[in-house]
Amino acid sequence: MAPKSYRRGYPVAVLVGLESGRAVLWQIFSQVAKHQQTITLNGNRNDPKLLYSFHESIVNSLRPTFKEGVKSIIVASPSRTEYAQEFLNHIRTHQTWLFQGPNKAIFSTMTGSASSPSDLATLTKTAVFKELMNETTAHETENLLEILEKRLNSVNNLVSFSLEEAETLILTSRPSGKPVPEYLLLTDDYLSGSHRKNRIQRLIQIAKNKGIKTRVIGAESTAGKRLTQLGGLVCIAKTV
C-alpha cells in the first residue's frame, strides 16, 4: 500500500471557511483536502472582544502551517457577508508581520461556503477557486524565489543543489556559527520523476521535524522553472 503522504500529495494551501459562528480550516494538498480544525465563536459577532478572540484563534491555528512553510491562505465566506474582509482587517491591524517581508503570507478571499465536506467538494471544483488557488500560491512561491536569489548571491555558500548536499546539510549537526538549513524546496516534477521517492520523503519529514520549512512547488510556476534550472531541488541555509 502506498504511504499516506503519497495518496494525499504535498501541502499547497489552507482554506478557511468562515461562517457566522465558526471557522472551519482545511489543509489543501495537491490530491485531497483534509479537515484541520473547527473554531467556534462563543457569542455574538457584534461583540468586539469576542470577535477579536475568535480571529486570534484562527491566526493561532494557522501558525503551525506557517512554520512548516505553507503561507498560501484562501478565506471563503458566504455571499452578502463581510466575514472574510473582517478577518483580513483584523490581521492588518493586529498581525502586521503576516503582510511584511519575504516571509509574508499571501491571503486571498472568495465568496462561498466551506463549512462541511460537501460544501468543500463543491467549492474546490469551481473555476474561481482553482484560478484563485493558482494565483495565491504563485505569489507565495515568488516570495520564496526572492529569498533564493538573495542567498544565491551571498558570499557564504548558502544554497545546496542536490539531494546528497541537502541531506548533508539537514542530517549533519552544524558547528556553532555555521549556516543552518532554513528551506527545502523542490518541484513536483522532481518529486514525481525521481526513483528515490522514499529517500526524498524521508528527508522532507526529517526537515519538518527539525523546523525546516519545506515546499513542493509546481514546476510550471515562475519559481518552479527557476528551481528546475537549478536541478529541481535546493536547500537554502541561513547564517546565525
pLDDT over 80 (residue 8): no
Nearest Cα to Cα of residue 213 among 103, 133, 52, 55: 103
The strand pairing partners of 181, in sequence order, are 237
pTM listed for this prediction: 0.87
Q: 7 versus 206: which is more confidently predicted?
A: 206
Note whether 179 and 129 are same-domain residues.
no
pLDDT over 70 (residue 52): yes
- Among the residue ranges 115-119, 155-159, 208-212, 219-223, the one predicted with the least confidence is 155-159
Note whether 116 and 185 are same-domain residues.
no
Which of 100, 120, 141 terminates a domain? The answer is: 141
Residue 149 lies in a domain: no
Q: Which residue has the cell 544554497?
A: 159
E strand or H helix that includes residue 204: helix 197-209
How high is the pLDDT of residue 36?
Answer: 95
> C-alpha grid cell for residue 183?
528551506
How high is the pLDDT of residue 198?
Answer: 92
The CATH number of the domain holding residue 53 is 3.30.420.60
Q: Total domain count for the chain?
A: 2
Residues 112-134 pLDDT 10s: 999 999 999 999 999 999 999 99
The CATH number of the domain holding residue 222 is 3.30.1330.30
Cα 204 to its chain centre, rounded Å, is 14
Residue 180 lies in a domain: yes
E strand or H helix that includes residue 14: strand 11-18
How high is the pLDDT of residue 2?
Answer: 45
Q: In what order do the strands lie in the sheet with 22-29?
A: 33-40, 22-29, 11-18, 72-77, 106-111
Note whether 173 and 200 are same-domain residues.
yes
What number of CA atoms fall less than 13 Å from residue 236's CA on the CB side?
A: 22
Task: Tell me which residue range forms the domain holding 96.
Answer: 4-141
Note whether 17 and 96 are same-domain residues.
yes
